[in-house]
Amino acid sequence: MALLRKREPRLYKRLETVSPAKDVDFDSLAISTNLIDSKIKLNHINTLAVLGFGVGTHVRELVEKIPPKTFLLVIDPDIATFKALLPMIDLIPILKSSNVKLAIGEDASTAVRYQIDDYYKVNTVPDIVIAEHKPSLEKNPEYYKEIKGLLEESSIIAHQNLATLVSNATLWQEQILANLPIIIKCQALKTLFGKFLNIPAIIVSAGPSLDKNVAYLKYARDKALILCVDTALRTLFNHDIKPDIVVSIDASTKNYNYYLKDLDVSDLYLMAGPAVYPETITSFAPNVFVSGFGHPLLTWIEAFIGERGNIKLGGSVSTAAFDFARRCGSNPIILIGQDLAYPDDKIYTSGVKQERIKEVEELMPTEEIIWVEDVFGGQVKTVRGFWTWIKWFEYQISEMSDVLCIDATEGGAKIQGTKIMTLKETIEDYCQKTFNFKQPLHETCNSHILPDLTALSREMEVLIKDWKKVQFVSKEGAMLTKKLLEIISNNQMDKRANKILKEIGILYRRIIENHRGLLKIGSWNLEPLLFRMEKYNLSSDLGVRIEGCKVFFEEILDYCQKSVLGLQSTRDKLLQIELERR
């Protein structure tokens, strides 16, 4: 029980409120044959969802067989039976495994969404293998039907997140390093967490319905914390409305040019992601609060400069604004311009530049179209990306029973869990007290103290030296794989070829086993490569596996070369800042 309290505190608390089930047929629950297709190799599974705990025998067997990299999620709604089992079974082998989570007695949404998000932080693992404990499924068929649907959703969201990583990981790392000399001079976003307790917050997004009610927003000035995503800022400026805080997380030059360039934002405050385009931060400086977002390189840096305050991104600038409002303690949280759909085939609010609207219109034929319920009870057209954000909002809202979330968008997709109102009604009912937002923002921003950068600069130098060693190993590995592929193409798999193959294996393991810092700090950049390597290694064709190793060495080399250059440049700037500080 002590181990359960340490490893599964949420489950431990639930068990305290539950009485053990009586007259349980434990023999029927012990049946656990053919849980996983025999063709599936356990050492290649990334996420294994076990539906049904039974008496735990099959769970213990799986824990013994799976590698440490596999996330094993056990889902069972029957917490009373689980409690009755506790005096009879040994849970220690299960609880000692850091890659095992027990979702026992949780509603379906929490059992899947919370547990996967909590384990991965950013879910990028689309391949989920399901192991079905038949007696448990027969006992709770509707529950497990919902679980399977949620696991499928999770897989779709992971595909989206993985695609985002592939598209943006390199740029994110480059921008974090480029921004770091500015980030350390800016206040951490976490200093605002809890600052606006029970004060209304209005999140202004750039959906087409914003044009319907943006004019009413002026009546909420100084009566609600107005958080405007960067995409909607021009629309607000066109109506002579200035928000309290602008939210921007996009790293691209295009994003800055489309939404912020040439706007006078000198008297506004910015909530910036650490990987935003550098001019985004400098245009608002010094009125900038920088967030974290779980990026492994930034997390490593934060150990030396202090945490920035992580924000759940959810894939969108509006989801980042929503999570920020929640962490500030705002209540209610009010959404406007949050269409997450294309009502009447409109794409954006009218304030967005036509070139951006045209760009999205050209991409539309490639998008998967989905029809969802709208706020009026009809149907509205959306796309897969928006659908994942709708699901994100719905799950986050379901976890916030003490916070009222109002959808005052007056159009677009319905977000379950929100109270649907017009913006005019919302302001009249919830935004009547006057607040001075400038003062706490100004005081908090100006209280920032520059951190000591000595330790960070020193550890950056250590990292640079280590990754230079990886470059050497990768070059050697790439050369050997190229040589071996030439030999194989001539059907000459002799002693010399076997010797080279052995050397390639040694070099591969040196990178995987001896340079954990590389795989941890560079995980967002390298994770897609490691997933591809798993598929290469499954092949029975030696040539395919060697080609996979060649790709591995080449991409590791490319990553390390670029990273070392970025780290060296940033370290030099940090050393200069530290000299000036002294």
Which pLDDT score, from 0 to 100, does residue 515 have?
82
Strand arrangement, sheet containing 333-336: 187-188, 288-290, 269-272, 245-248, 225-229, 201-204, 333-336, 405-407, 419-420
Q: Cα dist. 345→362, 382, 515 in Å?
A: 13, 10, 51
This prediction's pTM: 0.85
Contacting residues for 437 by C-beta, under 8 A, at least 6 apart: 196, 222, 225, 244
* Token pair for 299: 């997390």
Which pLDDT score, from 0 to 100, does residue 33 have?
64
Q: Cα dist. 536→44, 48, 178, 408, 547 in Å?
A: 11, 21, 35, 50, 8
DSSP SS3 for 402: coil
* Token pair for 164: 């985002």
Helices (H) and strands (E) in the chain, counts: 25, 15
* Token pair for 188: 């951490």
> How does DSSP assign 17-36, residue by residue?
T-PPPSS--HHHHT-----S
Q: Please, are residues 235 and 350 in contact by the beta-carbon 8 Å criterion?
A: yes
Q: Which of 112, 138, 128 is nearest to 54 (CA)?
A: 138
Q: Please, are residues 104 and 59 in contact by the beta-carbon 8 Å criterion?
A: no
Contacting residues for 311 by C-beta, under 8 A, at least 6 apart: 189, 273, 291, 292, 293, 320, 323, 324, 327
> How does DSSP assign 443-491, residue by residue?
HHHHT--PPP-HHHHHHHHHHHHHHHHHHHHHHHHHHHHHHHHHHHHTT
Q: Please, are residues 78 and 139 in contact by the beta-carbon 8 Å criterion?
A: yes
Distance CA(92)–CA(532), nearest Å, equals: 34
* Token pair for 78: 């029957």
List per-residue pLDDT tens for the chain, 582 residues long: 888 999 999 999 999 999 999 888 888 777 666 677 666 777 778 899 999 999 888 899 899 888 888 999 999 999 999 999 998 888 898 998 899 999 999 999 899 988 998 888 778 888 899 999 998 999 999 999 999 999 998 998 888 888 887 788 899 999 999 999 999 999 999 999 999 999 999 999 999 999 999 999 999 999 999 999 999 999 999 999 999 999 999 999 999 999 999 999 989 999 999 999 999 999 999 999 999 988 999 999 999 999 999 988 767 899 999 999 999 999 999 999 999 999 998 999 999 999 999 998 888 888 889 999 999 999 999 998 899 899 999 989 998 989 999 999 999 999 999 999 999 999 999 999 999 999 999 999 999 999 999 999 999 999 999 999 999 999 999 999 999 998 888 776 678 888 999 999 999 999 998 887 899 999 999 988 988 898 888 888 888 999 999 999 999 999 999 999 999 999 999 999 988 877
Q: Cα dist. 70→42, 65, 125 in Å?
A: 9, 10, 11
Please give the span between the terminal C-alpha atoms of the chain, in angstroms, as a whole number.
52
Q: Which of 345, 344, 347, 326 is nearest to 335 (CA)?
A: 326
* Token pair for 528: 């897609």
Distance CA(469)–CA(467), nearest Å, equals: 5
User: Which runs of E-coded beta strand occur in 167-229?
Assistant: 187-188, 201-204, 225-229
Q: Please, are residues 190 and 309 in contact by the beta-carbon 8 Å criterion?
A: yes
Output the 3-class SS for 410-449. CCCECCCCCEECCHHHHHHHHCCCCCCCHHHHHHHHHCCC
Domain boundaries, the chain: 2-162, 184-446, 454-581
* Token pair for 439: 């003062």
Distance CA(209)–CA(337), nearest Å, equals: 5
Q: Please, are residues 420 and 261 in contact by the beta-carbon 8 Å criterion?
A: no
Distance CA(51)–CA(59), nearest Å, equals: 10
250 DSSP assignment: -
Distance CA(124)–CA(454), nearest Å, equals: 34
Q: Please, are residues 417 and 404 in contact by the beta-carbon 8 Å criterion?
A: no
Distance CA(514)–CA(504), nearest Å, equals: 15
* Token pair for 123: 């879910």
Helices (H), 192-271: 210-213, 233-238, 253-259
Which pLDDT score, from 0 to 100, does residue 28 have?
78
Long-range contacts of 493-500 (CB under 8 A, 24+ apart): 493/542
Q: For residue 273, which amino acid is it?
A: G
